[in-house]
Chain A
């Protein structure tokens, strides 16, 4: 049904239910409004948008539905008079220096005032109730005097981000917006996503300048890009001040993935690129600093307590290096790597690429290692995050990527979040999950910690660390015994059901309850909620993958989906939430020791032949070593030369004390990065690279969405593009690489990667495409994979039954606590970027561990005191925070902090299949720190 109405004499036809405001907008008539934004639920409170529909009273057009035959006047004299009076009232006590007008220059109220020619002296009674400014947040400035109580911020916080931090305090004329219990914003539970400031129409909530003064939007250059942090891959607009060569402001872009939403890192964490510690010249280690070893106190691990906020002290490190020209540095790298290759064979070389780099950089890097070094010893941090998930997915359904996008959670009847602190690690994806949970999707969260997303769960199962296999086996036991399985699907699309049934038979909920610490009836209830859903989607994170039985964990989740037929339909699917902004793309591009680009096995002669033809060299037929294996190899002198592009294994890999020895043992190490990382202290040559904002490239997010990030600013000093540096090294090692643009590399890559076929820089604009994308000119790409079978040899999904195995190192009387590591919302991995972002490091300045208050009390440790946490591998000292979200007997430590690096403690035992270390489980001891 549609409604035909007349607006200002123009005939407009709109679907029934469309508001007058929206109908007018479609007809090109802008009706002024303060409280409404198309992304928000209309509430009709500012009454600025009133229009005359021929009734006794005026109608608020943002909430009034257009009706057939309606005649609307949007600018009658009566209407304009009301608007003008309203504007005058609001401006009567409006601050003279609106922070919005002074920054982005788009204060809506002042614009209205100008359009009505409001005389400022007209209404001159100031409110006089001392409504103050609040500058407590490091990123958002609050000016209560400029607040017109349109409640946009409240709706943005409640209904877009679901953080529920803002409300009103008081009633009527004296009401104000308030954070939590009327706390200063910076002291509240606000997570600084900035959604409120981005929807605020006045100077009440504004973004604070972080790099350079924010000038009016019109004066800044807009660059379409994506966020450099996590795998959600939020589309952003970078607002660049060309005169300052700085990104000064970031807005979310209305892309299908993030719908303009951002989190604190994406919106405010961009200033790291301008940090004074940026590397700007190539550096070569001075002769007197051999034999190599760590240089800074933190990296030496000499046990001193670190001061909070610890960045690398350049004064400790730089004297060990001398500045060099690019030619000198590159020649040295090429020479040393060539020498090692010649002396010890190609297998003595290895390369770590990075999931932070673009598809193009990843592709070129793995090509260098394979075609020039002559080895498959190339890997990156995917090994440390979802290697086990990918191994399980490839084994069972023949594809390592997600089968559905995260946004489709809205069509799910049930969503299972397993081992993922989504609000910390994938904050914008979490907003869509929270959305769904509020609008009918039943949310089941399984975790050892009561995470932020658990607060939104309908069923929260707190399991004992590392007991996932037992839990999901019990779920499947319940599903099978209660007949909640999809027989038709199992028969048509799977194999191995009998074996699975035999295995899970041995896991009645009562047995699982003993292992997992979740009551049997809760296990039954959750299983049956999942089993009864017509559409269920499964998300998982590092809580599943980072175990010595991580592959088993993932296999169980996959079996769960196959058993219930929850793959390939709207609202269903398997979604391992990918960590880094380009971990999907870097893997797609072949930064994996077993496969060429697009997961084509290096051991398959036919495939290898194709790549040999494309690259014009003979290629290594054996799979290469993985990250931790390479480190072990270095320690054992099997690996002698390494090239690292943007990777910082010193902090990211398990068992740092071993990594320290391994890095020091290398004959030659070249580190290419934007800052002096901990790893760089062991380097022979350090090459200054470009930051995200200084280069163009494509990035593939967790949804398989390939998006372009365009260059926004010039790199500092002599810093160079990563792919250019890689090409230079290749050339100097005797292999020609003559790329001119990133686009050219992309085209070479897509020609070799069937999944990316058809994608070009042209059709990736403006919102990117999901791979595969058979019809890129007309379609956004394939959202749902495997509606009808799987890319396995049999075309069927395979059940792989698993038995519960405990973690590699369980607590005992010497080390009675279980250590769990992970990330914080405000920090990224080894902190190289985020600890150099002023706002992010202001919010989370220092290392800490979280423990249950009862455990702290039992140990006689006051909350906030320093403790020493020790494992069999080392010891660190940091503050102890008390939190009931942490189960008794467990300790949580974020691993970002070099001054108390969690990975000093972690166990480098590997999952036998995925080769991922057990970051989520090792035994530790807690002692009060000695002064």
Chain B
């Protein structure tokens, strides 16, 4: 069993309290961090090969490096706790079971990027996690970890917790910013990227909960240690959310070099009822599906990319032989049709239209040209929109049909 970093306290009662967090070494990294220059921390994070764990997998230190140097106005740190990718639930665990890890990560990260105001955007449905996190922030203020002159460092940080109101697109970083600004959650045109012009027009870094929770450990134990846990291009461990047809669904923190087969069979206890594996979605619903024969891949960003899919949010959905793939696609297509923000025409029209087509096929009213038409519409819309939402939808549209075409054809009247 490899070392647990982010989840090490999850099994302890009271893991969400300041007392327990401090007992187990929490906030101990702060003094070391404040002794460093902000740029040194960014450098450590770069060297650690920490990559964004929300879905896009972008190197975190590099992102921080995009901020304008010597910016005269405010800079904001925004934590994306709008967990919404189907198959993913790790950030909920972090908020509920180790909220102070996020706060400590925010303090160090804000110090590194020169932010004095941090926002935590929590999805609206997460009422319980919101309450727990809110309590933790209160504790941190009382203990002097937040507010003015933290631990006598001269560094100030305030945190505003912002609740979402139910819209998947607000997990997209610029959609999140729009929503934070009190608007509908429409993604923004890029460039300019948020690091240049983000929330309220100011340079902004948006990072996922899990990503930021790693930062105190990197500062405390060094970039080399963190990098050494993973592959050449991605350091550390990550939290895999495993669900579906497995014996032990749940969150598994593992080095990113773990294989999908090992994750399913060894950690999650394999498939129940002696059923055979049919397919796996390895990185949240936007990742292309893998067949049973394609699971000998490492679960790092590049490993899965090379396998023609993506690590995404590390939400692993396991499907056994009883699953109808067309039925699964209909469910997924319904999701994308419902959650498209509606801003860009190709995404809005295609998601709605493809959902109707899949439903028609499921209902046995499909036509033989329908499958190619769906593939056509998906391919032509890909890469033409403001954000990556539609590209995410294209992953399942194309992979489900291409890899399980016969199953679809069987539903279409001759």
Binding site for B on A (CB under 8 A): 34-35, 43-48, 50, 56-58, 60, 63, 81-82, 85-86, 89-90, 92, 123, 125, 127, 148-150, 168, 170-175
Point out the residues of chain A lying under 8 angstroms from B386, CB to CB: 44-45, 60
B353 & A92 in contact (Cβ 8 Å cutoff): yes
User: B342's contact among A47, A57, A90, A172, by CB below 8 Å, is which?
Assistant: A172
Contact with A along B326-349 (1 / 0, CB 8 A): 000000000001111111111011
Point out the residues of chain A lying under 8 angstroms from B341, CB to CB: 171-172
Q: How far apart are B373's CB and chain A's nearest CB, in angstroms? A: 8
Identify the closest chain A residue to B383 (Cβ): A57
Beyond A86-B381, A89-B350, 9 extra complex contacts between A and B, CB < 8 Å: A45-B343, A45-B344, A47-B384, A82-B380, A82-B384, A86-B346, A90-B349, A125-B356, A172-B348
Q: Is residue B351 contacting chain A, with contact meaning CB distance below 8 A?
A: yes
* Bound Cα distance A34, B352 (Å): 20
Point out the residues of chain B lying under 8 angstroms from A168, CB to CB: 184, 342
**Chain B 192-228 residues near chain A, CB threshold 8 A:** none
* Bound Cα distance A58, B340 (Å): 20
The answer to whether A44 and B345 touch (CB under 8 A), given A92-B353, A125-B356, is: no
**Chain B 381-398 residues near chain A, CB threshold 8 A:** 381-386
Q: How far apart are B341's CB and chain A's nearest CB, in angstroms? A: 6
Identify the closest chain B residue to A81 (Cβ): B380
Q: Is residue B377 contacting chain A, with contact meaning CB distance below 8 A?
A: yes
Q: Name, among A35, A92, A149, A170, the residue most crowded by chain B CB atoms within 10 Å (CB to CB).
A: A149
Identify the closest chain B residue to A92 (Cβ): B353
Q: Name, among A46, A48, A85, A148, the residue most crowded by chain B CB atoms within 10 Å (CB to CB).
A: A85
A58 & B384 in contact (Cβ 8 Å cutoff): yes
The 5 closest A-B pairs by CB, nearest first: A173-B352, A57-B383, A172-B340, A89-B349, A85-B380
Point out the residues of chain A lying under 8 angstroms from B167, CB to CB: 171
Main SS class of interface, A: loop
A125 & B360 in contact (Cβ 8 Å cutoff): yes
Point out the residues of chain B lying under 8 angstroms from A82, CB to CB: 346, 380-381, 384
B351 & A85 in contact (Cβ 8 Å cutoff): no
Chain B residues with a Cβ closer than 8 Å to the other chain, count: 33
Point out the residues of chain B lying under 8 angstroms from A171, CB to CB: 167, 184, 339-342
The answer to whether A89 and B353 touch (CB under 8 A), given A45-B343, A45-B344, A173-B342, is: yes
A86 & B337 in contact (Cβ 8 Å cutoff): no
* Bound Cα distance A48, B345 (Å): 9
Q: Is residue B357 contacting chain A, with contact meaning CB distance below 8 A?
A: yes
A172 & B345 in contact (Cβ 8 Å cutoff): no
B348 & A175 in contact (Cβ 8 Å cutoff): yes
Q: How far apart are B131's CB and chain A's nearest CB, in angstroms? A: 27
B337 & A46 in contact (Cβ 8 Å cutoff): no
* Bound Cα distance A278, B14 (Å): 87
User: B348's contact among A35, A56, A81, A149, by CB below 8 Å, is which?
Assistant: A149
* Bound Cα distance A645, B385 (Å): 61
The answer to whether A89 and B357 touch (CB under 8 A), given A82-B384, A149-B348, is: no
Q: Name, among A45, A150, A172, A175, the residue most crowded by chain B CB atoms within 10 Å (CB to CB).
A: A172
Identify the closest chain A residue to B382 (Cβ): A57
User: A123's contact among B337, B344, B353, by CB below 8 Å, is which?
Assistant: B353
Q: Is residue B189 contacting chain A, with contact meaning CB distance below 8 A?
A: yes
Point out the residues of chain A lying under 8 angstroms from B407, CB to CB: none
Binding site for A on B (CB under 8 A): 167, 184, 189, 337-346, 348-353, 355-357, 360, 373, 376-377, 380-386
Point out the residues of chain A lying under 8 angstroms from B351, CB to CB: 172-173
Q: How far apart are B286's CB and chain A's nearest CB, in angstroms? A: 16
* Bound Cα distance A48, B356 (Å): 23
User: A58's contact among B349, B352, B360, B383, by CB below 8 Å, is which?
Assistant: B383
B345 & A173 in contact (Cβ 8 Å cutoff): no
Identify the closest chain A residue to B337 (Cβ): A173
16 CB contacts below 8 A, A to B, read A46-B345, A56-B383, A58-B384, A60-B384, A63-B189, A89-B377, A149-B345, A168-B342, A171-B339, A172-B339, A172-B340, A173-B337, A173-B351, A173-B352, A173-B355, A175-B348
A85 & B376 in contact (Cβ 8 Å cutoff): yes
A47 & B349 in contact (Cβ 8 Å cutoff): no
Identify the closest chain B residue to A79 (Cβ): B384
Main SS class of interface, B: helix
* Bound Cα distance A92, B352 (Å): 12
Q: Name, among A50, A89, A123, the residue most crowded by chain B CB atoms within 10 Å (CB to CB).
A: A89
* Bound Cα distance A48, B346 (Å): 9
* Bound Cα distance A35, B189 (Å): 14
Identify the closest chain A residue to B191 (Cβ): A65
A89 & B346 in contact (Cβ 8 Å cutoff): yes
* Bound Cα distance A56, B345 (Å): 20
B349 & A44 in contact (Cβ 8 Å cutoff): no
* Bound Cα distance A60, B384 (Å): 8
Point out the residues of chain A lying under 8 angstroms from B184, CB to CB: 168, 171
Q: How far apart are B395's CB and chain A's nearest CB, in angstroms? A: 15
A148 & B345 in contact (Cβ 8 Å cutoff): yes
B384 & A172 in contact (Cβ 8 Å cutoff): no
* Bound Cα distance A92, B357 (Å): 13
* Bound Cα distance A92, B348 (Å): 13
Q: How far apart are A73's CB and chain B's nearest CB, in angstroms? A: 15
B342 & A149 in contact (Cβ 8 Å cutoff): yes
Point out the residues of chain B lying under 8 angstroms from A43, CB to CB: 189
Point out the residues of chain A lying under 8 angstroms from B350, CB to CB: 89
Point out the residues of chain A lying under 8 angstroms from B340, CB to CB: 171-173
User: A47's contact among B337, B345, B352, B373, by CB below 8 Å, is which?
Assistant: B345
The answer to whether A86 and B342 touch (CB under 8 A), given A45-B386, A58-B383, A172-B351, is: no
A45 & B352 in contact (Cβ 8 Å cutoff): no
* Bound Cα distance A43, B187 (Å): 11
The answer to whether A85 and B377 touch (CB under 8 A), given A45-B386, A125-B357, is: yes
* Bound Cα distance A901, B339 (Å): 57
* Bound Cα distance A82, B380 (Å): 5
* Bound Cα distance A49, B68 (Å): 31
Identify the closest chain B residue to A171 (Cβ): B342
Identify the closest chain B residue to A123 (Cβ): B353
Point out the residues of chain A lying under 8 angstroms from B380, CB to CB: 81-82, 85-86
A90 & B353 in contact (Cβ 8 Å cutoff): no
* Bound Cα distance A148, B381 (Å): 16
B342 & A125 in contact (Cβ 8 Å cutoff): no
User: A86's contact among B339, B349, B373, by CB below 8 Å, is which?
Assistant: B349
* Bound Cα distance A46, B381 (Å): 11
A125 & B353 in contact (Cβ 8 Å cutoff): yes
Point out the residues of chain B lying under 8 angstroms from A175, CB to CB: 342, 348
* Bound Cα distance A63, B187 (Å): 14
Q: How far apart are B124's CB and chain A's nearest CB, in angstroms? A: 14
* Bound Cα distance A47, B386 (Å): 9
* Bound Cα distance A44, B345 (Å): 10
Q: How far apart are B127's CB and chain A's nearest CB, in angstroms? A: 22
Point out the residues of chain B lying under 8 angstroms from A48, CB to CB: 345
* Bound Cα distance A168, B183 (Å): 12
Q: How far apart are B394's CB and chain A's nearest CB, in angstroms? A: 12
Q: How far apart are A824's CB and chain B's nearest CB, in angstroms? A: 34
* Bound Cα distance A123, B373 (Å): 9
* Bound Cα distance A50, B381 (Å): 11
Q: How far apart are B199's CB and chain A's nearest CB, in angstroms? A: 19
Point out the residues of chain A lying under 8 angstroms from B353, CB to CB: 89, 92, 123, 125, 173
B345 & A85 in contact (Cβ 8 Å cutoff): no
Point out the residues of chain A lying under 8 angstroms from B342, CB to CB: 149, 168, 170-173, 175
User: B345's contact among A57, A81, A86, A125, by CB below 8 Å, is which?
Assistant: A86
* Bound Cα distance A90, B167 (Å): 24
B348 & A173 in contact (Cβ 8 Å cutoff): yes
* Bound Cα distance A635, B73 (Å): 72
Q: How far apart are B57's CB and chain A's nearest CB, in angstroms? A: 16
* Bound Cα distance A756, B22 (Å): 84
* Bound Cα distance A35, B355 (Å): 25
* Bound Cα distance A150, B344 (Å): 8
* Bound Cα distance A123, B357 (Å): 10
Q: How far apart are B40's CB and chain A's nearest CB, in angstroms? A: 34
B383 & A44 in contact (Cβ 8 Å cutoff): no
B381 & A90 in contact (Cβ 8 Å cutoff): no
